[in-house]
């Protein structure tokens, strides 16, 4: 067959023309991110997330529980049966928690210990919805509003379709249950449980369930064993018993039987409250007045789209997109709404309080975890919610005298170490959540940083000797892991400093920025590790950098880099950037904590380490290592998350890293830079502006920044200034597959060394008697230790602090008149600082007056004998009473 001549010439001409490259297709931004959420990610491998239905920060998470029932999440993907569908869950907290009021559909005879076999082939879930067809043939579908859940149970046609409500089926021991059949379509009840990580705190959750068809019979059962609280898998203070097995008052469960021969679908609406059953009923009826399951499901889906859509991404693989939005979803599950639709909530004082209309009280703070990444992300994405969360913390302080540390519902458990509440509040403020009582928050933060309490046990040692001594934990206040604990206090002090500065309080800004630098007292310049130290100043013997002794969930290898506010200072202490890079290269040569000498990127103490390359001139190594962590730890599978998710902390780390940035320094909005995973990300900022990140060459094998511009101008810095959280802008990356070792190598993110001034004035109290000083006998830490005369020697036993409150302190305690005596000759001693007149001292001429007794500090008989215990005596201006304080 031949072509017409004109067509043949045209064809020939076409063949002879040079090839025109195809136009690059710009990926579109995801418009339905909720549809990409895989709630099964993190339901195995100890991550302990849960797959059930919820809405952002919701009070109710209606989700299946399985027999292995790991910590918090209650669901292990490798299990093949379900014990019930409970109304409350926590995502990977490290100890068993919640799992309250499980419902289980069955048929036939009542069996309170029943479980239901299933296969994953008959299971599906997305954001706000869960469905499973059990092997029994019963289909369960779950969705939620903020304070209520809705279930749709499709039974076989039978007169014996049952719902078992396992009242004593919470994850931890239950001490009291109640249940009342209000009618043949409604029941109400309550469960009292708690004991998180074996702590004593309990809570009572109330529920009110209504059904769209009547149950034919009902009754209680007692076959369920609520069991003891298991031993803690995470450390905490104060000390707690190994198990808690309260005597149960009330039934183990309630059964309801329905006749489904005519209508096989039984729908349930369940309201939850921590105040009363009446409030549970009101929550249910206010938020879900109709019987339209699909509409509730769609509303939950829309709520997630509204929240997740504040970070819109384009490009990447389908797996990366699913992993990203699943991580963002898990980051926004907690803290949880705790107040009812009418504004009421039960406070930390166990009294009923109310929030203003349009606001909510929140609960469940995994403080040690969330201050590192999740708090900042939630403020960025949901500033109105985070502002209410911050106000909730201030309310908790008003009711209990403490900011939340690891608080579950309305009880403090004291689990883990540090003062995370301070950092969380500072993080919220820095990232744009500012609609709370910021002044009251500052007052609370300063108070907690200034007194001895269960939030900051042992912090009195920060005054003198300037670190938490290992032998101090046995003579003080039940602190533990002193190296880790102090590094946490130092971080909290810096966060407090940053927050105070943002509010214009320059005095506290300076004071706490300087105290934050006391990490130097734990850094051994010989070994180049953070090490435990005795009160007398010596390094604790038997130190091994791979041991967890005197650390919390980590080793010195993993903790030595934990100075996120002054990495430049830490590198200088190492001997310079090259020496610090060597440390990072070694600890980050593995990510699973192997041998105690490698980073554990599945746990919080290590998650800041990869970003620290930015601070020592090697941003390209940060880009490389972070991509390795993403690829090795994170997948779209149930085991695709290493370690506990810790109420979204680990998931938030992934979100930040995929965006190519990280809030390394708690209390600030400084963002250390990595490299973006997606070709475009558009972040809606708290003030309404947007931050757009363009990276057209983004690919898994192209993590290296070749160049970067900000708003069209070259940006050669390894960080973004905090102002970008407000102003937004456009970042344009050029990425590649080989490292550009010069990009941003000389422009590190900020470090904050303080002013160099000491936190408090300290030094010897010297006598006019030559060469003699006031001395703490044998560097003792116990109450009643004698304060004596001794040769001045510069030891910690003679390092007295003058904190400005009228006291004189050494070894974390106060110079004290024994038994508040007032007579001549009463001895002075070391004692816990308690604010009494026995511990007040004033300069009086050349001496030191105790105003309560009207007498002066005195060396008995003007002796020169070492070991003579000092006393109070009538003021007489002799050399025996002449003292010079620091």
Domain boundaries, the chain: 33-230+243-304, 364-736, 761-884
- Res 738 pLDDT > 80: yes
Residue 14: the pLDDT is 34
pTM: 0.94
Residues in the chain: 886
- The predicted-structure confidence for 575-604, as pLDDT tens digits, reads as follows 999 999 999 999 999 999 999 999 999 999
pLDDT tens, residue by residue, 448-475 = 999 888 899 999 999 999 999 999 987 7
- Answer yes or no: is pLDDT of 621 > 70: yes
Predicted local distance difference test score (pLDDT) of residue 46:
87
pLDDT digits (tens, 9 = 90+) for 764-789: 999 999 899 999 999 999 999 999 99
Do the strands 680-684 and 828-831 form a parallel or antiparallel pair, or are they unpaired?
unpaired
Q: What is the reported pLDDT for 232?
A: 47
Report, as an integer, the average pLDDT of 31-36.
98
What does the pLDDT average to over 190-215? Answer: 97
3-state DSSP assignment of residue 461: helix
pLDDT of residue 223 exceeding 70: no
How does DSSP classify residue 36? G
> What integer pLDDT is reported at residue 233 of this predicted model?
52
Residue 6 pLDDT greater than 50, yes or no: no
CB 406 within 8 A of CB 366: yes
9 has pLDDT over 90: no
- What pLDDT does 72 receive? 78
Over range 349-359, report the average pLDDT.
Answer: 97
pLDDT of 140 strictly over 80: yes
What's residue 755's pLDDT? 94
CA 435 – CA 759 distance, rounded (Å): 31
CATH T-level topology, domain 33-230+243-304: Beta-galactosidase; Chain A, domain 5 (2.70.98)
User: Which residues have CB under 8 Å from 560's CB, separation 6+?
Assistant: 523, 528, 529, 530, 545, 583, 587
Q: d(Cα 461, Cα 477) in Å, to the nearest integer?
A: 11
Specify the pLDDT at position 589.
98
CA–CA gap between residue 432 and residue 455 (Å, rounded): 26
C-beta separation of 29 from 312 below 8 A: yes
Give the pLDDT confidence score for residue 23 in this predicted structure.
43
Tokens read off for 18: 């040079």
Cβ atoms of 488 and 368 within 8 Å: the answer is yes
* End-to-end CA, the chain: 108
**How far, in Å, are 92, 327, 500, 736, 788 from residue 643 at the CA level?**
8, 14, 34, 31, 52
Q: Is the pLDDT of residue 734 over 90?
A: yes
Q: What is the pLDDT of residue 245?
A: 64
Please check the confidence at residue 16 and state whether its pLDDT lies above 80. no
Mean pLDDT of 87-111: 96
In whole angstroms, give the CA distance from residue 130 to residue 149.
11
Q: Give the model's pLDDT for residue 765.
A: 98
Residue 399: count of CB within 10 angstroms of its CB: 16
Distances (CA, A) of 724 to 371, 632, 671, 685, 719: 20, 31, 9, 9, 11
Nearest alpha carbon to residue 283 among 353, 205, 349, 214: 205
For the chain, give the percent of residues with pLDDT over 90.
91
SS3 783: coil
> Residue 412 pLDDT more than 80?
yes
Place of tokens 């990580």: 197
pLDDT at 289 over 50: yes
Strand-pairing partners, residue 828, are 817
Give the pair of three-digit tokens for residue 591: 């990510």
**Centroid of chain to Cα 797:** 37
pLDDT tens figures, 556-565? 999 999 999 9
Half-sphere exposure of 779 (CA within 13 A, CB side): 17
Which uninterrupted H or E stretch holds 502?
Answer: helix 482-502
Task: Note whether 871 and 828 are within 8 A (CB).
Answer: yes
Mean confidence (pLDDT) of the chain: 94
**Residue 478: pLDDT band with limits 50, 70, 90:** confident
In this predicted structure, the answer to whether residue 380 has a pLDDT above a threshold of 50 is yes
* pLDDT score for 234: 62
CATH 3.40.50.300 is right for the domain spanning 364-736: no
Most distant CA pair in the chain: distance in Å?
130
Model confidence band, residue 240 (pLDDT cutoffs 50, 70, 90): very low
Confidence grade of residue 241 (pLDDT, cut at 50, 70, 90): very low
Q: Indicate the Cα dihedral angle 699, 701, 706, 710, nearest 10°.
A: 30
Across the range 727-735, mean pLDDT stands at 98
Burial of 85 (C-beta count, 10 Å sphere; 0-12/13-18/19+)? buried
Task: Summarize the confidence of residues 166-191 as an average pLDDT.
Answer: 97
Nearest to 291 by CA among 212, 186, 209: 212
Contacts of 245 (CB under 8 A, 6+ apart): 173, 227, 228, 229
Planar angle of CA 423, 429, 434, nearest 5 degrees = 140
Q: pLDDT at position 71, please?
A: 75
Res. 225: pLDDT tops 50: no
Q: Look at residues 358, 430, 344, 431 and name the one whose alpha carbon lies nearest to residue 395.
A: 344
What value, to the nearest 5°, has the Cα angle with vertex 537 and ends 534 and 539? 60
pLDDT at 229 exceeding the cut of 50: no
Question: Phi/psi at 229 (nearest 5 deg)?
Answer: -75, 125
Closest CA to 643 of 333, 233, 235: 233
12: confidence class by pLDDT, cuts 50, 70, 90: very low
Is residue 543 very low, low, confident or very high in pLDDT (cuts 50, 70, 90)?
A: very high
For 689-718, the pLDDT digits (tens) are 999 999 999 999 999 999 999 999 999 999
Does 292 have pLDDT greater than 70?
yes
Integer angstrom CA distances of residue 372 from 196, 368, 656: 22, 8, 11
In the prediction, which pLDDT does 53 show? 98
Give the right CATH number for 761-884 from 3.30.70.1400, 1.10.10.10, 2.80.10.50, 3.40.50.300.
2.80.10.50
What are 560's two structure tokens?
């030595």
- Dist. CA 413–CA 407, nearest whole Å: 6
In this prediction, residues 842-849 reach a mean pLDDT of 96
- Strand-pairing partners, residue 661, are 673
Residues 716-732: what's their mean pLDDT?
Answer: 98
**Nearest-angstrom CA–CA distance, 666 and 619:** 20
The token pair at 237 is 């203070």
pLDDT of residue 227: 41
Q: Number of helices and strands (H, E) in the chain?
A: 17, 47
The percent of residues in the chain predicted with pLDDT above 70, rounded, is 94
The pLDDT, as a whole number, for residue 230 is 42
Q: What is the DSSP letter of 600?
A: B
pLDDT, residue 222, reads 86
How confident is the model over 821-844, as a mean pLDDT?
97
Q: What is the pLDDT of residue 247?
A: 84
Q: What is the 3-state secondary structure (H, E, C) of 819-835?
A: HHCCCCCCEEEEECCCC
β-pairing, 103-107 vs 123-126, is unpaired
């Amino acid at each position: 067959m031949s072509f017409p001549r004109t067509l043949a010439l045209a064809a020939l001409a076409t063949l002879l023309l040079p090839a025109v490259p195809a136009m690059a297709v710009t990926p579109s931004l995801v418009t339905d991110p909720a549809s990409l959420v895989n709630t099964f990610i993190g339901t195995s491998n100890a991550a302990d997330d849960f797959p059930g239905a919820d809405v952002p920060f919701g009070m109710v998470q209606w989700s299946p529980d399985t027999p292995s029932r790991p910590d918090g999440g209650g669901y292990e993907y490798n299990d093949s049966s379900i014990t019930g569908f409970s109304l409350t869950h926590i995502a990977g907290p490290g100890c068993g928690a919640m799992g309250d009021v499980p419902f289980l559909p069955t048929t036939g005879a009542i069996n309170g210990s029943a479980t239901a076999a299933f296969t994953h082939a008959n299971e599906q879930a997305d954001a706000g919805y869960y469905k499973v067809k059990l092997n029994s043939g019963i289909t369960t579908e779950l969705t939620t509003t903020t304070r209520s859940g809705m279930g749709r149970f499709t039974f076989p046609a039978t007169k014996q379709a049952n719902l078992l409500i396992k009242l004593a089926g919470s994850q931890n021991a239950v001490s009291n249950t109640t249940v009342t059949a209000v009618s043949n379509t409604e029941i109400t009840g309550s469960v009292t449980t708690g004991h998180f990580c074996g702590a004593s705190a309990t809570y009572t959750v109330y529920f009110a369930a209504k059904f769209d068809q009547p149950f034919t019979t009902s009754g209680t059962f007692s076959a369920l064993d609520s069991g003891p609280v298991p031993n803690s898998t995470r450390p905490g203070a104060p000390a707690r018993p190994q198990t808690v097995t309260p005597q149960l008052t009330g039934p183990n469960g309630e059964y309801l039987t329905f006749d489904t021969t005519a209508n096989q679908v039984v729908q349930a609406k369940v309201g939850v409250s921590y105040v009363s059953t009446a409030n549970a009923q009101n929550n249910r009826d206010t938020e879900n007045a109709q019987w339209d399951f699909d509409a509730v499901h769609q509303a939950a889906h829309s709520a997630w789209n509204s929240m997740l859509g504040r970070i819109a991404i384009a490009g990447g693989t389908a797996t990366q997109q699913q992993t990203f939005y699943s991580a963002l979803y898990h980051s926004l599950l907690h803290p949880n709404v705790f107040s009812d639709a009418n504004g009421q909530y039960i406070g930390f004082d166990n009294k009923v309080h109310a929030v203003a209309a349009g606001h909510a009280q929140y609960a469940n703070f995994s403080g040690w975890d969330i201050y590192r990444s999740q708090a900042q992300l939630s403020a960025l994405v949901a500033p109105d919610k985070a502002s209410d969360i911050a106000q909730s913390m201030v309310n908790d302080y008003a009711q209990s005298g403490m900011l939340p540390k690891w608080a579950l519902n309305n009880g403090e458990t004291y689990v883990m170490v540090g003062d995370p509440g301070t950092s969380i509040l500072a993080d919220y403020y820095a990232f744009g959540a500012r609609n709370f009582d910021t002044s009251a928050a500052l007052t609370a933060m300063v108070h907690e940083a200034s007194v001895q309490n269960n939030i900051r046990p042992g912090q009195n040692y920060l005054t003198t000797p300037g670190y938490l001594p290992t032998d101090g934990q046995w003579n003080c206040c039940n602190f533990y892991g002193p190296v880790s604990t102090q590094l946490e206090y130092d971080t909290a002090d810096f966060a407090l400093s940053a927050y105070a500065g943002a509010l214009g309080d320059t005095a506290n800004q300076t004071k706490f920025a300087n105290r934050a630098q006391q990490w130097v007292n734990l850094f051994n310049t010989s070994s180049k590790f953070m090490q435990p130290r005795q009160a007398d100043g010596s390094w604790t013997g038997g130190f091994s950098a791979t041991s967890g002794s005197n650390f919390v969930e980590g080793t010195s290898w993993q903790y030595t880099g934990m100075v996120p506010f002054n990495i430049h200072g830490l590198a200088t202490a190492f001997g310079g950037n090259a020496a610090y890079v060597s440390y990072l290269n070694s600890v980050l040569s593995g990510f699973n904590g192997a041998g105690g000498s490698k980073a554990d990127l599945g746990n919080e103490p290590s998650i800041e380490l990869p970003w620290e390359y930015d601070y020592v001139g090697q941003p390209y190594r940060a880009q490389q290592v972070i991509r390795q962590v993403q690829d090795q730890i994170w997948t779209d599978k149930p085991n695709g998350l290493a370690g506990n998710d810790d109420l979204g902390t680990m998931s938030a780390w992934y979100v930040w890293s995929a965006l190519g940035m990280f809030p390394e320094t708690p209390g600030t909005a400084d963002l250390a830079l990595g490299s973006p995973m997606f070709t475009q990300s558009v972040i809606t900022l708290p003030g309404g502006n947007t931050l757009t990140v363009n990276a057209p060459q983004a690919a898994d094998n192209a993590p290296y920044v070749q160049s970067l511009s900000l708003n069209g101008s070259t940006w050669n810095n390894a960080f973004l200034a905090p102002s970008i959280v407000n102003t937004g802008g456009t970042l344009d990356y050029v990425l590649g597959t080989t490292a550009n070792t010069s990009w941003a190598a000389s422009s590190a993110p900020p470090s904050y060394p303080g002013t160099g001034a000491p936190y408090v004035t300290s030094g010897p109290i010297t006598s006019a008697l030559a060469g003699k000083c006031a001395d703490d006998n044998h560097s003792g830490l116990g109450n009643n230790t004698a304060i004596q005369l001794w040769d001045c020697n510069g030891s910690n036993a003679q390092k007295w602090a003058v904190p400005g409150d009228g006291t004189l302190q050494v070894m974390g305690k106060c110079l004290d008149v024994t038994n508040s005596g007032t007579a001549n000759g009463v001895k002075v001693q070391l004692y816990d600082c308690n604010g009494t007149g026995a511990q007040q001292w004033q300069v009086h001429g050349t001496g030191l007056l105790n105003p309560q007794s009207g007498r002066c500090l005195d060396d008995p008989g003007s002796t020169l004998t070492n070991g003579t215990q000092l006393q109070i005596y009538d003021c007489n201006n002799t050399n025996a009473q002449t003292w010079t304080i620091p």
